[in-house]
Amino acid sequence: MSISKTIYTGLHSDSEEFDINNLITSVLLFDTVLISNPSILPNLVQAIGPEGLLKLLNDNRLSVVGGGPSAQANYDYKSPGFYSNRPLDRPLRFGFETIYVDPNSPKNHSAEERLLIDLKREKEGFSIEESVVNELHAKILHTMQVIDGGTLKYSAEIRDDVQNKQGLFVDLILDSLARDTGFPIHVLNINLSIEEVSEEIFQINTNLGRLLNINDDVLHNYLKKIFFEITGTSLQVQRMKAVNAAAGLTEAQSRIISKRIDYLSRLMAESDPMAKFSRICKIAKTPELTKGASISIDELIELRDSTEAYAFRDWLHNSAELTDVEIEEITSSWNRKIGEMLQGENAKGLRWLATTGAGALIGEFTGTITSGTDFFLDKFFPSMGPIGLVTGKYEKFIRNQESKN
């Protein structure tokens, strides 16, 4: 498959709510944003307006992915879900099943029907005006990418992991347990294995409950979370492959796939600049928009198409990984130099030079650039490099949008 600079995303935060900051970052860093969950469309229209959504669609910067349900689902033998498990010849203590679901069932809505339902859905008291729904529906369908749910089956991959990569599977479980519980997992004498006890039914055998002094119900919930994360990662990778997307994994999914040694897994793990960008923003203390904020798509596209943004994306995709300390040194040193220069003997001259040379206006003794950031980056602080976009034009964009809400 060919990998493009495309992200497959639900545009949500860790709490699974629509996140306008995720949209901004996705448009800024990628050529195309593929919406994996059409149910967020009312949230998207509320945030950028129907005109903003139509502009992204017309410019081929955004598309919606449709299709029926995935052909594979998980079943928890401890807490039954929507599916009926078949009888087994023994009870399962830590048992999970990967179940085939017929995505072509006549009971399922077509992609067109599901899209219309999602567009008409009311989200948090907001709904798209009826007069706009049909226009959006037609335009989204014109650019929609449809994934055949019948192709999304991961049980063969899980079976291969269990049979041939047992160590990888065990390591993933133990790493996740150590992270979630804080227990000293890796210094204990742990016995843990996974077996397929019946077709597509897997059981985890372990002495962890005794070693950690936790009951089976608690341990089962830990193991369920990990097992479902592993199978969910396989499913997400298949979806990304279906639409040629290089990015779209969650932080947990990225950790899981980074353990694999095959070329495609490595490529996907290393092709997603979202984690790098988030780290830089966190260390640089870049502000975020609050929940419910709206933005100007025209201004976002202007930022995205700027020379600095092009250089920044190229740097993110191709540069070596910087440590947190290195990022902090770059950003804090840059801000410190600005403050020193503005308070020094040449401050007046600098303000005049910035104003006449680049149309900049700099806050009195604050070190905050309100415009003309590119002038300072190019002329005074070339050592800041592409990372200067974050504390310059990107931060300015966020503050400008916040002031309008």
* pLDDT digits 0-9 by tens, 73-126: 666 766 554 444 555 555 566 667 666 666 667 777 778 888 898 899 888 788
- Residues 126, 240 within the same domain: no
- Residues 143, 173 within the same domain: no
Q: Is the residue at 269 inside a domain? A: no
- Residues 337, 400 within the same domain: yes
Least reliable range by pLDDT among 51-60, 279-288, 320-329: 320-329
Is the pLDDT assigned to residue 53 strictly greater than 90? yes
Q: Is the residue at 71 inside a domain? A: no
Range of the domain at 400: 280-404
The amino acid present at 208, given as its one-letter code, is: L
Q: Which residue has the tokens 């220069």?
A: 341
- Residues 352, 230 within the same domain: no
- Domain end, chosen from 90, 120, 147, is at 147
Q: pLDDT by residue (tens digit) across 346-376?
A: 444 444 334 433 334 344 434 444 444 444 4
Query: What's the mean pLDDT in 224-236?
Result: 84
Q: pLDDT by residue (tens digit) across 284-338?
A: 888 999 988 999 999 999 999 998 888 888 877 765 565 666 656 655 555 555 4
- Residues 143, 161 within the same domain: no
Q: Which residue has the tokens 């040193």?
A: 333
How many beta carbons lie within 10 A of that of residue 358, not counting itself?
15
Is the pLDDT assigned to residue 46 strictly greater than 90? yes
Instruction: Identify the DSSP state of 16.
Output: S
**Given its phi and psi angles, is residue 252 left (phi above 0), alpha (psi -120 to 50 degrees) or beta?**
alpha
Q: Is the residue at 73 inside a domain? A: no
Residue 232 backbone phi and psi in degrees, to 5: -65, -35
Cα diameter, the chain: 85
Please provide the average confidence, as pLDDT, over all residues in the chain. 76
Q: Is the residue at 304 inside a domain? A: yes
Collapsing DSSP to helix, strand or coil, 41 comes out as: helix
- Residues 136, 160 within the same domain: no
Q: Which helix (H) or strand (E) holds 161?
A: helix 155-164
pLDDT computed for residue 198 by the predictor: 78
CB 6 within 8 A of CB 30: yes
- In percent, the amount of the chain with pLDDT more than 90 equals 19
- In percent, the amount of the chain with pLDDT more than 70 equals 69
- Domain end, chosen from 147, 175, 206, is at 147
Give all strands of the β-sheet with 62-66 in edge-to-edge order.
145-146, 62-66, 32-35, 4-9, 245-247
Q: Is the residue at 368 inside a domain? A: yes
Q: Is the residue at 80 inside a domain? A: no
- Residues 290, 372 within the same domain: yes
Q: Is the residue at 399 inside a domain? A: yes
**Cα–Cα distance for residue pair 390/285, rounded to 1 Å:** 10
Cα distance from N-terminal residue to C-terminal residue, the chain: 43
Both tokens of residue 384? 């800041």
List of residues 6+ apart from 117 with CB closer than 8 A: 109
- Residues 233, 367 within the same domain: no
Compare 178 and 154 and report the one with higher pLDDT: 178
- Residues 127, 178 within the same domain: no
pLDDT computed for residue 99 by the predictor: 64
CB 47 within 8 A of CB 294: yes
Compare 215 and 398 and report the one with higher pLDDT: 398
- Residues 359, 233 within the same domain: no
List of residues 6+ apart from 171 with CB closer than 8 A: 259
- Domain end, chosen from 228, 261, 294, is at 261
- Please, what sign has the CA dihedral across residues 204, 209, 212, 214? positive
Q: Which residue has the tokens 């920044």?
A: 312
Q: Which of 18-27, 72-81, 243-252, 276-285 has the highest mean pLDDT?
A: 18-27
Q: Is the residue at 88 inside a domain? A: no
- Residues 129, 29 within the same domain: yes
CB 83 within 8 A of CB 99: yes
Our count of domains for the chain comes to 3
Residue 224: band (very low, low, confident or very high) from pLDDT cuts 50, 70, 90: confident
Residue ranges of alpha helices (H) inside 182-306 are 208-212, 216-242, 251-258, 263-271, 274-283, 297-304
**Cα–Cα distance for residue pair 243/248, rounded to 1 Å:** 11
- Residues 34, 131 within the same domain: yes
Residue 190: band (very low, low, confident or very high) from pLDDT cuts 50, 70, 90: confident
**Cα–Cα distance for residue pair 141/194, rounded to 1 Å:** 43
CB 286 within 8 A of CB 390: yes
Round the CA-based radius of gyration of the chain to a whole number and report it.
Answer: 25
